[in-house]
Structure 1
């Protein structure tokens, strides 16, 4: 099957790699950089993203978005949240209602606070929509570490086709119905990862990290349920699974940002020197604003927001969290 991957960054390259493990797939990988396209097609390596992993000859890179959308019945959207609407607007020129689109973006549109699936509906005629989310560190997948993800969709056809296209000896795909939950979990875990990096940068170890992950999961679940998600989604791969991977690995971009802030660098210094996008920074700002509008209690997000704004130090933010009023643990059902 012809499968299109829209976005040639780290995660897009990895998605293309996963799809190419199925010998029945022919993968078209779209990106804007013509030099990288030429390098991938000539050498079968992505100079920035594939490392020592050789990409299959079944992957063909291209700058021709119209060709990819017109020729591929299944598309994986793997661009940043900031560029999602613009790219989807272009895709909408050639997309038809019979095609399947699975987005792999862990963030919201920052100017409107909209979920990416909402933007897909606004900019294209897509009906068969899926969301891919889970504990997926790109470097580990390219190195062949056993991994898994979740594809959530209202359409069983989307889930089953994603499983057929992506499953291999080292990668499993689980299905889910909760699109909202998968999107919220994927976006908000980046905020908790920023906080995890900060605690690591301060030298706090396992007790602190366990506390942060557990209470972070409560916060993410609380917000997700307010958005219409199922509580059970956050106990699975898209929720707790992604939190564990992202908050415990120095491979995580958001963990790196938080760690560097705790070490004394400013956010502007970090963003100027990072070669990759950290979705957690704009997501924190969006989710903090949304939580204020919805009246959802989110103390960790509030603390991270204050740190990013340089209103408080990471150490003082943690002290403030530890000094909050006594309470019972919440129990979420559903």
Structure 2
């Protein structure tokens, strides 16, 4: 965080405020006093220390996290800072101007008391400086709050778009003719051989499609719900891959109520089958693991991969990038996605803040 902001808009607004303050000061001098070189010098010399004073407030506001405070606590802080900085501004202005206008200020008197003059100057002009600094601070607080609100709305919109994109991607994958044809064809054959299993597969397919459609209506879901839909998806894929798919999961019961973005783990499972196990003639193992890491929830999705697959399988990079973007929108720096790829094995680990549904 820089003491001097680089945003052009900030300096435009600050310059406009400085021009307004200078105009008010000069107008008050014209109405109630006499505009001369000393008053003009005071007005011009007042601008640099005033700018430093308000930038100091901005720096403290951002550095100390005052944005999280309620207005009832912010008001005393603003008033206290304005009192101290207002006195400092007037003292600096006096130090800048007095050497050049000493004769006019002292009136040529040998008994001129500099200390008394400075005290009167601070008392008379300090209140004005304090009011201007306070006004700037409250305007800045309001503008910063409005900007945070806009950024929050934009972040929420991005999250909704990302979630809808993930939901559409998952639904598209599940409705691909190859997937749907194989699922329905397997159901048709099982109706005559094993009616109960056929019925279970129909239920799994309907649950999978329903979850894909409903997931766009919520930003988080319970791990138990995500695991149930993963098992439904694996059940469908197992009828197609037969003994080539060995699915294992390890989720402690205490973590089943944890919240996570919907379809994140399910999409990783889809990718593990599509880009990993489906390319192995002998098939392999797919694993889902949840680990309690204190304040964090670790989710690991691993799968066997071809021996020469030491990096992300083709087509997986965009999916991981979308998942990582969703995590960042929801949790910021508190979440992380890590890929661990070796010859014969591929694993994705998600680290999320541990949250429970109420």
Range into which the TM-score falls when normalised by the shorter chain: under 0.3
TM-score (ref. length: structure 2): 0.24
Over alpha carbons, which structure has the higher Rg? 2
Of Structure 1 and Structure 2, the greater helix share is in 2
TM-score (ref. length: structure 1): 0.25
